[in-house]
Amino acid sequence: MNPEFIYNWQQLIGSALGPFLGVIFATSGFWLKSHVGKKREIREHLRRIEIALARSLNDQFDVLIELEAFIERIDSIVHSIKEVDGTTYCLQETNFAPMTDVFHEPDLPTFKIKSYYLHNKILFIDAGIRNTNLCLERLRSEYEGLKSKNEFMVAQKVPFTTQRESYIANLESFKRMLQGFSKYVVAGLKTVVQARVYSRKMNAKHRYFLWQNEGHSFKFYLHRRAIDAYHRELPAIDRIDKNIEELVKAELDAAKKMATEKYGEIPEIIRNLPPIAA
């Protein structure tokens, strides 16, 4: 065979293969860099989620503690009013509980974490914390309105008995509002614990833990769309709630222990926290 012919073919193949391999290597390098970058981004998001949820959890415990103390002060006021004879007006009052808003990280719902379970929990938490802080503001306003109404009745010199009965009824109604709000905060607290446990486990062993709980199986589904549709339903969330039940219980027990060490004694509504959100 003509050596010149072989040489020409080698040059032709080399000139074609060189740019092709260059494109392959460049594409592979870009993909690898992008893949590593996305993994780092997910880990950073999980880290920020865990920190934000820890701050929110601490604030929720503080709110529950202050609510319990506030309810006790209102009970004390009602008791003292009932002890007063019917020939004087009752102006006993207490300051609103010194509660700050629950920490809210507005960016959490935008984080890409490749977990439908954790994403759904974060959406629930985001809406719940927003509503909790809004309720706190409304409760402050309601309490100030309650005191102003009582002062107005005294200024109008309504009968002593009428003023006392109205003030007691309004205080007891407000107390029931506080008790209902406490139950709402408890429900939100349990959801925060679930999300925090899940995010920590994902960060520790991301692939295996995620596959265990959210892996796709075509054993019961004909195509990917059917699996994705199932994942958007509440039964899929409930199933994972059951999977992490023991982890959530341990986390709640640890949180209650820390609250006891911090406050000395914690309210019954916290002591009786069930292991899993209803």
Q: Is it the case that residue 34 has pLDDT exceeding 50?
A: no
Measured in whole angstroms, the distance separating CA 55 from the mean position of its chain's CA atoms is: 10
Q: How would residue 28 be classed by pLDDT, with cut points 50, 70 and 90?
A: low
What are the tens digits of pLDDT across the range 82-114? 887 777 888 888 888 888 899 988 888 888 887
Q: Pick the closest to residue 188 from 137, 149, 144, 136 (CA basis).
A: 136
The phi and psi torsions of 85 (rounded to 5 degrees) equal -70, 170
Q: How confident is the prediction for the chain on average, in pLDDT?
A: 79
Q: Is it the case that residue 14 has pLDDT exceeding 90?
A: no
Measured in whole angstroms, the distance separating CA 143 from the mean position of its chain's CA atoms is: 27
Q: What pLDDT is attached to residue 220?
A: 42
Better pLDDT: 263 or 77: 77
Q: Pick the closest to residue 216 from 229, 204, 206, 203 (CA basis).
A: 229
Average pLDDT over residues 161-184: 92
**Which range among 38-42, 60-64, 137-141, 173-177 shows the weakest confidence by mean pLDDT?**
38-42
What letter represents residue 147's amino acid? K
What are the tens digits of pLDDT across the range 218-241? 444 445 555 555 555 657 788 888
User: Structure pTM?
Assistant: 0.75
Average pLDDT over residues 43-69: 89
Q: What pLDDT is attached to residue 149?
A: 92
What letter represents residue 218's amino acid? F
Distance CA 140, CA 79 (A): 22
Q: Pick the closest to residue 142 from 206, 8, 134, 239 (CA basis).
A: 134
